[in-house]
Structure 1
């Protein structure tokens, strides 16, 4: 059995709990330690039930609570070496015991308990960003956020998933007409920025299969998106795509920004 629960997901902070019957980890720790603990408590877990923290990249909305969680619970931290180096230079995280860092390699599997994780390279303006696909040997999930573009390699590596949390960051028109300064708008729209609702739907359309049962849209921008807009735009893209699948063929939901989202569970 695999599980995925979004403790928080959005431009202001990200923390996802994933795992199996016997192994659970956090993917990112971009909210306060207290919020992480409260979120885990709400799904009948505690931080002591976690076997580690997997970091996608060093931006503060993905690591804000990392130092507190690592020091308080002595949790192993898994990230690429470049991401580890970038985090070690961040004074906001405080000092983290060097022995807690476990370097991983992009595109090379590693195991934690009975779950195998595969870090997949993505395009984002960070030191060495990755997303994570993971499996218990039977079922396959993925958490894929913070990428400006996607390519055929990522599409191929994310086939035959049972469930995915996928970025649907912004509505292009809201971003273009919003209050962000022009350079920031260009960064978000660029190849190392974030996926729009439309691109998220197009990406998802290439990942759909008979196995896919659940999709959670995540990392929505507070200023440049709306839950309803992301949901409806992705549905439109899926229904318009050149494949045999429709938006009603699986459960589609949007991850909450400030509260725990419903658990996705398969198996």
Structure 2
């Protein structure tokens, strides 16, 4: 299996996951051109994409979906609430109804040799989910846009050899920053985003011998920066009671604008 972040941040999100035979996108919150350029780095084109799985209807996760639906006619998979939100987003333009496929949290979806598992997350959207993707014994976990995590979240992601976990903001930067009070409260709420520290705690609970690659994703442009997220997560792992240390794993910050390296597991 392969994993590449094409874009990850508060300004747009798109993740590529694939096997030797099947290729999917999780979210399409950037332009179709940027997605195509990112796929080209993996030797792929939009014609190779079998499906787009959408986490939720916020624009930084669906911005390119309208153009993709019209140009490429790629099937779209998301929950009933998310589909409703997508259809209500006028900036996407007309979309072919037949492309939409309704899914439910905790019910697996199979696209050729890929097993996609949606699971519930807490975020201020209609019916948001995160995903794991499996192919045979290999597993990749993608979890961003969640206000908190619990045993349910951990149990769903556990066993992933590669993962993308949200590290959205530094609490202190957010609190002293220029955002209005209501927005700060939204981000800090149980339906907001994970802080760097909480991301570190979640990742620490997911560490196992076969974990190889960890991406830190969905960083806020205003309330975080790469080195701070990276060092904070590493510190949380190293200070924990876990037998593992940050140096045991390949930890990378997913870039807002530049596709990541292609991780193979």
TM-score (norm 1): 0.98
Cα deviation for residue 35 of structure 1 reads 1.0
1:232 paired residue number:
231
**1:242 to 2:255 alignment:** no
Q: Deviations over 1:202-251 (max 9, x none)?
A: 00011111110110000000000010000000000001112111101110
Kindly report which structure 2 residues correspond to 1:142-153, keeping only aligned pairs within 5 A, or say none: 142-153=141-152
Aligned to 1:58: 57
Q: How does 1:160-171 map to 2 (within 5 A)?
A: 160-171=159-170
The CA deviation string for residues 149-180 of structure 1, in whole angstroms up to 9 with x for no partner, is: 00111111221110100100001111001110
Aligned counterpart, 2:71: 72
Q: 2-side partners of 1:29 and 1:110: how far apart?
A: 19
* Matches of 1:186 and 1:140, distance apart in 2: 34
Distance in 1 (alpha carbons) for counterparts of 2:18 and 2:32: 20
Question: 1:43 deviation in Å?
Answer: 2.1
Corresponding residue for residue 5 of structure 2: 6
Partner of 1:130: 129
Say yes or no: does 1:107 pair with 2:106: yes
Once the two structures are superposed, the pairs formed by residues 114-263 of structure 1 within 5 Å of their partners are 114-263=113-262
After superposition, the C-alpha distances for 1:42-90 in whole angstroms (9 at most, x for unaligned) are 2211011000100000000000000001110000000001110111111
What SS does the corresponding residue of 2:4 show, helix, strand or coil?
strand
1-structure distance, mates of 2:250, 2:93: 40
Count of aligned pairs between the two proteins: 265
The equivalent residue for 1:41 is 40
Counterpart check, 1:22 vs 2:21: yes
What residue ranges of structure 1 are gaps of 5+ in the alignment? none
1:137 Cα offset (Å):
1.5
Structure 2 gaps of 5+ residues are none
* Alignment-derived partner of residue 92 in structure 1: 91
